[in-house]
Amino acid sequence: MNGDPGGSTSGGNVGSTVPPERWAERLQRFTDRNASRRTTIEIDQTDIGAQDLESDYPLRGVSYDDRDGRIEIMLGGLGDVESHMTHSIVGASEVTILAGADGRDELLRVVHPGGQTLLRVLDY
Residue 15 pLDDT class (50, 70, 90 cuts)? confident
Q: Say which residue, 16 or 98, is predicted with more confidence.
A: 98
pLDDT for residue 80: 63
pLDDT for residue 8: 43
Q: What is the mean pLDDT of the chain?
A: 88
pLDDT for residue 116: 98
The residue-averaged pLDDT of 13-24 equals 91
Residue 5 has pLDDT above 60, yes or no: no
Residue 121: CB partners within 8 Å, gap ≥ 6? 34, 37, 38, 39, 59, 104, 105, 106, 107, 108
pTM (two decimals): 0.85
The topology (CATH level 3) of 8-121 is Protein Yojf; Chain: A; (2.70.180)
The order of strands in the sheet holding 8-10 is: 8-10, 13-18, 94-99, 105-112, 115-121, 38-45, 49-65, 70-76, 84-90
The residue-averaged pLDDT of 45-61 equals 93
CA distance 112 to 122: 23
Of 10-14, 36-40, 49-53, the least confident: 10-14
For the chain, domain boundaries? 8-121
Q: Are 31 and 61 contacting, i.e. CB atoms less than 8 angstroms apart?
A: yes
